[in-house]
């Protein structure tokens, strides 16, 4: 028995801001001198990101017109955790609802009343009663729906949600599992000039992705069967990718050593996954890799003998949205699903995501054509 990823819907906030414009906001907010501003702009240019979306309009405005950040030269008093969580509560629900509606409109045979399980995923905001209960109320889901929250796991958390969804479907063939990954990364801008913080501020955007997993494939079109999962830890990278709650928001540590840690572990991760399966790496030509950053994608290509064309969906999502933490890999899988042709029925798909720990997650899927 297996389960099927049958549809993926996505949503982004209305504020789509070009990367150079965000660089201007950051340079002014950090009060950088001319030389450091030039270096910051160079960093933003090499990210491979053209634009990002934010629930905050301020990143595209001039100081004096801000709604969220103070209209002072140094952005003081800097927003507190409470203010940032207030923004999360304001914006997370409507963005999540839009992603769910985008997902379910692809499956006319599935009604809201049919959904048996709801999994919400986020590492950028928490409250209770939370997003899960608000989604039940807003969408009109059953009050007895089985709810699970996957919180604060970072960029790889969608894999854990998919593992849960698969377990629910294997336990109950009638299960229909809705999972919703919503991340508002940009509400956590940190006013810090250390390199790790400059890199984090250059990469992350806001977005939501919803997916429907069930024990049967879709009645028409394509779905992806969840064939296998494998996880590895690289404890040497604990300090290189981390996520902490501090006085002025959630603070991301993203070291330049992360690609080196992934280089060290990616082949072992891949071999650990495929060892269980009648599939070899050379048989795989479809990939859905979490674009944690351009250097991470290039490192994986070098280690696994992939081309940039093989990795095109990850680069496309990175360019158009940046890194949206847990939602990002579902954006990549959606692009892959949209590109499929009948000739690819039965083809294996290899997917990766990475996060604090350092955690490396791998998943093998297979294309199914109804």
Residue 314 in 3-state DSSP?
A: helix
What pLDDT score does 260 carry? 81
> Scanning the structure block, which residue is given the tokens 């969220």?
68
**Which whole number is the average pLDDT over 50-68?**
97
Mean model confidence pLDDT for the chain: 94
pLDDT tens per residue across span 3-55: 999 999 999 999 999 999 999 999 999 999 999 999 999 999 999 999 999 99
pLDDT-derived band at 126 (thresholds 50, 70, 90) equals very high
pLDDT-derived band at 255 (thresholds 50, 70, 90) equals low
pLDDT-derived band at 257 (thresholds 50, 70, 90) equals low
Rounded to a whole number of angstroms, the distance between the first and last alpha carbons of the chain is 17
**Which whole number is the average pLDDT over 254-270?**
82
Among the ranges given (6-10, 134-138, 264-268), the one the predictor scored with the smallest mean pLDDT: 264-268
pLDDT tens per residue across span 270-300: 999 999 799 999 999 999 999 999 999 999 9
Q: Is the dihedral angle over the CA atoms 324, 212, 125, 57 positive or is it negative?
A: positive
Provide the token pair at 113: 């009343």
**Which whole number is the average pLDDT over 166-189?**
97
pLDDT-derived band at 251 (thresholds 50, 70, 90) equals confident
Residue 106 in 3-state DSSP?
A: coil
What is the rounded CA–CA span in Å between residue 297 and residue 241? Answer: 16
- Based on its alpha-carbon atoms, the radius of gyration of the chain, rounded to whole angstroms, reads 20
What pLDDT score does 170 carry? 96
What pLDDT score does 96 carry? 98
Count CB-CB contacts under 10 A for residue 172.
14
Q: Is the pTM of this model over 0.75?
A: yes
- Looking at per-residue pLDDT, the higher value among 370 and 256 belongs to 370
What pLDDT score does 225 carry? 98
What is the rounded CA–CA span in Å between residue 302 and residue 98? Answer: 37
What is the rounded CA–CA span in Å between residue 254 and residue 239? Answer: 9
What is the rounded CA–CA span in Å between residue 189 and residue 94? Answer: 22
pLDDT tens per residue across span 299-348: 999 999 999 999 999 999 999 999 999 999 999 999 999 999 999 999 99
What pLDDT score does 318 carry? 98
């Amino acid at each position: 028995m297996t389960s099927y990823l049958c549809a993926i819907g996505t949503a982004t906030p209305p504020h789509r801001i070009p990367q150079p414009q965000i660089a201007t906001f950051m340079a002014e907010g950090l009060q950088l001198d001319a030389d450091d501003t030039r270096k910051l702009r160079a960093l933003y240019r090499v990210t491979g990101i053209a634009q990002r979306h934010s629930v905050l309009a301020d990143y595209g405005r001039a100081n004096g017109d801000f709604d969220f950040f103070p209209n002072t030269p140094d952005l003081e008093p800097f927003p507190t955790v409470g203010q940032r969580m207030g923004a999360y509560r304001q914006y997370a629900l409507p963005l999540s609802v839009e992603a769910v509606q985008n997902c379910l409109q692809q499956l006319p045979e599935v009604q809201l009343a049919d959904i048996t399980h709801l999994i919400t995923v986020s590492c950028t905001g928490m409250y209770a009663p939370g997003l899960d209960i608000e989604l039940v109320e807003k969408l009109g889901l059953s009050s007895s729906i089985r709810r699970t929250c996957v919180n604060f796991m970072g960029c790889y958390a969608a894999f854990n949600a998919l593992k849960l969804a698969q377990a629910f479907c294997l336990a109950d063939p009638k299960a229909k599992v809705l999972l919703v990954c919503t991340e508002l990364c940009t509400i956590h801008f940190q006013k810090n000039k250390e390199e790790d913080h400059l890199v984090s501020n250059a990469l992350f955007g806001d977005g939501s992705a919803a997916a429907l997993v069930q024990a049967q494939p879709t009645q028409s079109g394509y779905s992806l069967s969840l064939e296998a999962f494998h996880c590895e830890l690289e404890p040497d990278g604990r300090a290189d990718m981390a996520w902490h709650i501090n006085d002025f928001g959630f603070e991301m540590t993203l070291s330049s050593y992360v690609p080196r840690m992934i280089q060290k572990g990616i082949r072992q991760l891949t071999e650990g996954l495929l060892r269980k399966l009648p599939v070899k790496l050379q048989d795989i030509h479809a990939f859905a890799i979490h674009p944690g950053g351009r250097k991470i994608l290039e490192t994986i290509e070098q280690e696994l003998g992939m081309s940039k064309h093989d990795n095109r969906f990850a680069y496309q999502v990175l360019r158009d949205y940046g890194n949206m933490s847990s939602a990002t890999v579902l954006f990549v899988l959606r692009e892959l699903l949209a590109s499929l042709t009948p000739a690819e029925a039965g083809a294996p798909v290899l997917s990766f995501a990475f996060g604090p720990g350092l955690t490396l997650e791998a998943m093998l899927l297979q294309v199914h054509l109804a």
